[in-house]
């Protein structure tokens, strides 16, 4: 169908053109308001500056279609295949684009106020400087799309895919981004004030200079995100996972941080006068900063327990280890987290990252349980804590109380663990696996990067060496030295380095 055909029929009142084909057609500035072009094939058609109000393009297929500057107010483009289409400067106010394919489309400077784009494909599309206020983009695919300088105030982007999208200086104030995937997205200088980002994936996202005042980021993933000089005043960050995030120079005053680890984040130069640690965000539990140093509460390094085994972890040992820790967790609650495991040719490293420094000694007591070295390690753990005289803290009543609470809590929880050891559900099979009989070294590291070795098997790192018969009478010279407990001074210094405890 040619331009003169459709325009002639339109002039005499015909509006039904569904299923037709328009090829090499120029309809620049044409008035085709209210026509039905659903399921049409559009090849090299120019609709620039055309009046297409309430026009139906549902399920249409387009190739080299130009809608630049066209009036598509209330138009229906649902499920249309218009990849690479030119919709720059077009007016799509309240248009229906649900399920439309607009991959790599040009929508720069387009007006999409109140438009419906649910489950639409806009990957790699150019939406820069577009107006999307209150648009519905639920579960839309906007991966690698360019939305720089766009206005998305109050837009619904819940469940949308915005991976690696360009969102620099975008206005997302009061937008709904609940459950959206913004991993790797560039949100520098964006306005996200009052936005809903609950359960959103923001890992590796760049937020430098962004405004997140009053935003709800509860349970969001912020792994390795960049939030340098971001304003998070009174933002809800309850339950976020932000390990590796950089909050240098950010403002955190009044932020809600219930259930959030203070470890694993960079906060150099951050401004924070107080934070809300209450479960309901009602300020019933507030932490007031005594200094201007954010490291008073936050710290880049989490406390860890590391068990280094002088052997390679095999499949059988791996299964036995997992079952043992699972049984301990089942009967005692989550006393230790699952370890990260590094396996080398002749050595295995189990690393347990903890939430608080006060958990270190108990975590070590539990973590070493499957190994033959458990008994001396556990004895050392208790002996180090119990050998510190309480007189060390008599000059400070608060420190003394904290130390006494730590000793009492450790003694109580050790009894729990000892009771668990008697359970038949703890596999005896571990005793038959050579891996658990290998020498170990157990090292604690507090959040202040101070280390304390609880135990090192004298044979750790030693390999059997065949010596000449003439030297066998001197074998006693090659006997390994027994492990020496850390000095009391070293233990006290280690515990005084506990984060936010000041022992």
Over residues 318-328, the pLDDT tens digits come to 998 988 888 87
User: What's residue 346's pLDDT?
Assistant: 92
Is there a domain that residue 376 lies in? yes
Q: Distance from CA of residue 422 to its chain's centroid?
A: 39
pLDDT at 240 over 50: yes
Tokens of 98: 């649900």
Residue whose tokens read 């006393």: 335
Is there a domain that residue 436 lies in? yes
* Residue 199: strand, helix, or coil: coil
Do residues 112 and 96 lie in contact, with contact meaning Cβ atoms separated by under 8 Å? Answer: no
Is there a domain that residue 441 lies in? yes
Distance CA(260)–CA(401), nearest Å, equals 25
Is there a domain that residue 153 lies in? no
Residue whose tokens read 């109140």: 114
How many Å is the Cα radius of gyration of the chain? 32
Angle at 403 (CA atoms; ends 254, 294), nearest 5 degrees: 25
Residue whose tokens read 């000089």: 229
Q: Which domain holds residue 482?
A: 304-496
The per-residue pLDDT for range 334-385, each reduced to its tens digit, is: 678 889 999 999 999 999 998 888 889 988 988 998 899 999 998 898 888 8
Distance CA(422)–CA(252), nearest Å, equals 48
Do residues 179 and 160 lie in contact, with contact meaning Cβ atoms separated by under 8 Å? Answer: no
pLDDT more than 90, % of the chain: 69
Distance CA(92)–CA(175), nearest Å, equals 19
What is the domain count for the chain? 1
Is there a domain that residue 390 lies in? yes
Question: Which residues, at least 6 apart from 419, have a Cβ–Cβ distance to it below 8 Å?
Answer: none
Q: For residues 292-317, give the mean pLDDT.
A: 91
DSSP string, 169-180: T-B-TT-B-TT-
pLDDT at 177 over 80: yes
User: What's residue 421's pLDDT?
Assistant: 62
User: What's residue 502's pLDDT?
Assistant: 40
Is there a domain that residue 484 lies in? yes
* Res. 63 pLDDT band, cuts 50 70 90: very high
The per-residue pLDDT for range 385-440, each reduced to its tens digit, is: 888 776 666 566 666 676 777 777 777 777 766 776 665 555 566 777 899 999 99
pTM assigned to the model? 0.80
Q: In a 10 Å sphere around its CB, with 0-12 CB exposed, 13-18 middle and 19+ buried, how is residue 1 labelled?
A: middle
Strand order in the sheet with 61-63: 21-26, 41-46, 61-63
* Res. 503 pLDDT band, cuts 50 70 90: very low
Distance CA(85)–CA(149), nearest Å, equals 21
Question: Which residues, at least 6 apart from 143, have a Cβ–Cβ distance to it below 8 Å?
Answer: 123, 124, 161, 162, 163, 164, 165
Q: What rounded mean pLDDT belongs to the chain?
A: 90
User: What's residue 422's pLDDT?
Assistant: 61
User: What's residue 393's pLDDT?
Assistant: 60
Is there a domain that residue 195 lies in? no
Is there a domain that residue 189 lies in? no
Distance CA(363)–CA(371), nearest Å, equals 14
pLDDT at 37 over 50: yes
């Amino acid at each position: 169908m040619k331009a003169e055909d459709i325009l002639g029929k339109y002039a005499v009142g015909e509006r039904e053109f569904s299923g037709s084909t328009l090829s090499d057609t120029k309809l620049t500035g044409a008035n085709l308001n209210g026509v039905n072009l659903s399921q049409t094939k559009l090849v090299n058609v120019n609709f620039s500056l055309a009046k297409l109000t309430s026009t139906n393009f549902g399920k249409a297929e387009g190739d080299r279609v130009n809608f630049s500057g066209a009036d598509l107010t209330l138009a229906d483009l649902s499920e249309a295949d218009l990849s690479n289409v030119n919709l720059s400067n077009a007016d799509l106010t309240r248009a229906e684009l649900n399920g439309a394919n607009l991959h790599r489309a040009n929508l720069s400077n387009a007006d999409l106020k109140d438009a419906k784009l649910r489950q639409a494909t806009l990957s790699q599309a150019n939406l820069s400087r577009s107006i999307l206020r209150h648009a519905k983009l639920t579960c839309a695919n906007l991966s690698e799309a360019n939305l720089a300088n766009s206005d998305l105030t109050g837009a619904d982007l819940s469940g949308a895919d915005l991976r690696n999208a360009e969102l620099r200086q975008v206005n997302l104030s009061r937008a709904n981004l609940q459950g959206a995937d913004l991993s790797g997205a560039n949100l520098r200088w964006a306005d996200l004030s009052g936005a809903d980002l609950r359960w959103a994936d923001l890992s590796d996202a760049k937020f430098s200079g962004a405004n997140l005042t009053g935003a709800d980021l509860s349970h969001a993933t912020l792994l390795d995100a960049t939030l340098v000089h971001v304003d998070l005043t009174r933002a809800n960050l309850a339950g976020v996972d932000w390990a590796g995030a950089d909050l240098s120079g950010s403002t955190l005053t009044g932020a809600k941080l219930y259930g959030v680890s203070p470890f694993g984040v960079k906060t150099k130069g951050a401004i924070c006068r107080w934070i809300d640690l209450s479960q309901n965000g009602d300020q019933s539990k507030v932490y007031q900063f005594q200094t201007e140093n954010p490291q008073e509460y936050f710290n880049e390094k989490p406390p860890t327990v590391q068990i280094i085994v002088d052997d390679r972890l095999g499949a059988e040992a791996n299964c036995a280890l997992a079952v043992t820790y699972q049984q301990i967790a089942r009967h005692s609650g989550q006393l230790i987290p699952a370890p990260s495991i590094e396996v080398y040719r002749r050595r295995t490293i189990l690393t347990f990252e903890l939430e608080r420094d006060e958990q270190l000694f108990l975590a070590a007591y539990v973590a070493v349980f499957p190994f033959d070295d458990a008994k001396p390690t556990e004895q050392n753990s208790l002996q180090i804590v119990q050998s510190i005289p309480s007189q060390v803290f008599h000059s400070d009543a608060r420190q003394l109380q904290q130390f006494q609470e730590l000793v009492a809590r450790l003694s109580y929880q050790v009894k729990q663990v000892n009771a668990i050891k008697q359970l038949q559900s703890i596999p005896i099979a571990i005793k038959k696996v050579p891996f658990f009989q290998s020498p170990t070294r157990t090292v604690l590291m507090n959040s202040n990067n101070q280390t304390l070795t609880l135990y090192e098997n004298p044979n750790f790192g030693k390999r059997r060496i065949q010596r000449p018969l003439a030297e066998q009478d001197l074998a006693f010279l090659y006997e390994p030295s027994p492990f020496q407990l850390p000095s009391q001074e070293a233990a006290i210094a280690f515990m005084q380095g506990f984060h936010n405890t000041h022992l």
